[in-house]
A and B are shown apart, each in its own frame.
Chain A
Amino acid sequence: MAVTCATLGRRRAHRFVVSNRFPRVRASRTTTRRVRIADAIARWVITVGGLATVVSVMGVFVFLLAVAAPLFRPATWGSLEPLATWPHGAEVATLATDESRALALWADTQAVWSVAPLQTPGMPVRLAPLEGRPVTVLQWDPLAGLAMAGFSDGAVATLRAASRTDWHPIGSAPEPVGSLAVGAEWWDGTAVWRRVETERAVRISFTVDVADLAPPAATSPVRRLDFVSGPDGFVQVLLHDDGTLEAVRVRQRRNMLTGQTTLFRTVVPIAWERRPEAGLPEYVGLSGLGDTLLMLWPDGVLHRYDVRTAEHAQLAEDLDVLPEPGCRVTVARLLLGRSTLLVGDSAGRISLWFVVPVEDDAAGARRIVNPRRFEVASRSPVTALAISHRSRIFAAGCADGRVAVWHATSAKQLGELRVPVEEPIRVLAFSPKEDALVVAAGERAWTVAMRPGHPEVSLKALFGPVWYEGAPHPAHVWQSSSGTDDFEPKFGLMPLVFGTVKATLVAMVLAVPLALLAALYTSEFMRPRWKAFVKPTIELMAALPSVVLGFLAALVIAPWVASHLPVVMASFGTVPLALILGGHVWSLLPGGIRLAGARVRPFAMAVAAFAGFTAAAPVGRAAERWLFAGDVMRWLDGQIGGPWGGWWLILLPAALAIAAVVAVPCWDRCVRTPRAASETVVAVLELLKFAAVLAAAAGLAAGGAALLSFAGADPRGGLVGTYVQRNALVVGVVMGFAIIPIIYTIADDALTAVPEHLRSASLAAGGTNWQTAVRIVVPAAAGGIFSAVMVGLGRAVGETMIVLMAAGNTPIMSWNIFNGFRTLSANIAVELPEAVRNSTHYRTLFLASLVLFVMTFIVNTAAEAVRLRVRRRLREL
Chain B
Amino acid sequence: MALSELPKLDTTLDVSVSAAGRLAAIAAGEAVQTELHDDLRRETAVVDVRGFNLWYGPKQALFEIHMPIPKGRITALVGPSGCGKSTLLRSINRINDLVDTVRTTGDILLNGESIFAPHVDVIDLRKRMGMVFQKPNPFPMSVYENVVYPLRIDGVRDRAVLDEACERSLRGAALWDEVKDRLHDSAMGLSGGQQQRLCIARAIAAEPEVLLMDEPCSALDPIATNKIEELMEGLRGEYTIVIVTHNMQQAARTSDYTAFMYLGRLIEYGSTATIFQQPHLPETLAYVTGRFG
Q: Which residues of A contact B (CB under 8 A)?
A: 527-529, 591-592, 595-596, 755, 757-758, 760-768, 771, 775-776, 779-780, 873, 876-877
Which of B149, B152, B206: most chain A Cβ within 10 A? B149
Task: Tell me if B130 is interfacial: C-beta within 8 Å of chain A.
Answer: yes
Q: Is B31 an interface residue (CB 8 A)?
A: no
User: Of A591, A762, A764, A780, which is in contact with the most chain B CB atoms at under 10 Å from its CB?
Assistant: A764
Chain B residue with the shortest CB-CB distance to A759:
B98
- B152: min CB distance to chain A, Å: 7
- B79-94 toward A: CB 8 Å interface, digit per residue (1/0)? 0000000000000010
B140 to chain A, nearest CB (A): 6
Q: Who on chain B is nearest to A771 by CB?
A: B153
Complex CA distance for A780 and B123, rounded to whole angstroms: 22
Contact of A528 (CB < 8 Å), options: B100, B127, B153:
B100
A765-B127, A765-B130, A766-B206 given; 20 more Cβ-contact pairs under 8 Å: A592-B118, A595-B118, A757-B133, A760-B137, A761-B199, A763-B95, A764-B131, A764-B203, A765-B131, A765-B149, A765-B153, A765-B202, A766-B127, A766-B128, A766-B150, A766-B153, A771-B153, A775-B152, A873-B140, A876-B140
User: Residue on A with the closest CB to B134?
Assistant: A757
Are A757 and B135 also in contact (CB < 8 A) when A591-B119, A765-B126, A779-B141 are?
yes
Question: Residue B139 at the A interface, CB < 8 A?
Answer: yes
Does the CB pair B140–A877 fall under 8 Å?
Answer: yes
Residues of B within 8 A of A779 (CB): 140-141
A-B contact pairs, 28 of them (CB 8 A): A528-B100, A591-B119, A596-B118, A757-B137, A758-B137, A758-B139, A758-B140, A760-B98, A760-B131, A760-B137, A761-B131, A761-B133, A761-B139, A762-B139, A762-B153, A763-B95, A764-B95, A764-B131, A764-B133, A765-B150, A765-B203, A766-B154, A768-B123, A775-B152, A775-B153, A780-B139, A780-B140, A876-B188
Contacts of A768 in B (CB 8 A): 123, 153
- The 6 A-B residue pairs whose C-beta atoms are closest, nearest first, are A766-B127, A764-B131, A757-B137, A766-B126, A765-B150, A761-B137
Give the nearest-CB partner of B95 in chain A.
A764
Measured in the bound complex, the distance between the Cα atoms of B124 and A757 in whole Å is: 20
A767 to B119, CA, bound (A): 18
Query: A765-B126, A765-B150 in contact; A776/B119 too (CB < 8 A)?
Result: no
> In the complex, A593 Cα to B133 Cα: how many Å?
34
- In the bound assembly, the distance between CA atoms of A877 and B149 in angstroms comes to 17
A779 to B187, CA, bound (A): 15
Give B134-151 interface residues, CB cut-off 8 Å to A: 135, 137-141, 149-150
Give the CA-CA distance A166 to B119 in the complex, in Å.
104
Q: Which residue of A lies closest to B131 (CB)?
A: A764
**Contacting residues, chain B, for A873 (C-beta < 8 A):** 140
Give chain A residues whose Cβ lies under 8 Å from the Cβ of B93. Answer: 764
Q: Say how far A597's CB is from chain B's closest CB, in angstroms.
A: 12
Give the CA-CA distance A775 to B118 in the complex, in Å. Answer: 28
Q: Determine if A765 and B206 form an interchain contact, defined as CB atoms under 8 angstroms apart.
A: yes
Which residue on chain A has the smallest CB distance to residue B139? A776
Partner of A760 from B95, B188, B202 at Cβ < 8 Å: B95
Contact pattern, B 190-228, Cβ under 8 Å of A = 1, otherwise 0: 000000000100110010000010000000000000000
Q: A595 CA to B126 CA in the complex, in Å?
A: 17
Taking a contact as CB atoms under 8 Å apart, the answer to whether A763 and B141 are in contact is no
Complex: A762 Cα to B206 Cα, angstroms: 13
CA gap between A66 and B128 in the complex, in Å? 70
A768, closest chain B residue (CB): B123
Determine the residue in chain B with the shortest Cβ distance to A669.
B157
The answer for the CA separation of A109 and B225 in the assembled complex, in Å, is 111
Query: B212: which A residues are within 8 A, CB to CB?
Result: 764
Alpha-carbon gap, A877 to B136, bound state (A)? 9
Q: How far is the CB of A399 from chain B (nearest CB, A)?
A: 77
**Complexed CA–CA distance, A764 and B212 (Å):** 10
Q: Which residue of A lies closest to B146 (CB)?
A: A761
Return chain B residues, CB-CB under 8 Å to A755.
137
Contacts of A758 on B, CB cut-off 8 Å? 137, 139-140
Selected from A528, A763, A780, the residue in CB contact (under 8 A) with B126 is A763
A641 to chain B, nearest CB (A): 45
CA distance A347 to B153 in the complex (A): 80
CB–CB A762/B149 < 8 A? yes
Which residues does chain A contribute within 8 Å of B118, judged by CB atoms? 591-592, 595-596
A527 vs B199: C-alpha distance in the bound complex, in angstroms?
28
**B133, chain A: closest CB distance, angstroms:** 6
Q: Which residues on the A side are within 8 Å of B123 (C-beta)?
A: 766-768
Instruction: Report yes or no: A877 in contact with B153, Cβ–Cβ below 8 A.
Output: no
* Candidate in B119, B137, B152 with the most chain A CB atoms within 10 angstroms: B137
A755 to B188, CA, bound (A): 14
Taking a contact as CB atoms under 8 Å apart, the answer to whether A529 and B150 are in contact is no
Minimal beta-carbon separation of A300 from chain B (angstroms): 74
Closest to A764 in B: B131
A780 to B138, CA, bound (A): 12
Bound CA–CA A197/B149 (angstroms): 91
User: Known interface pairs A763-B98, A765-B149, A765-B153. Does A592 touch B140 (Cβ–Cβ under 8 Å)?
Assistant: no
A456 → chain B, closest Cβ, in Å?
A: 56
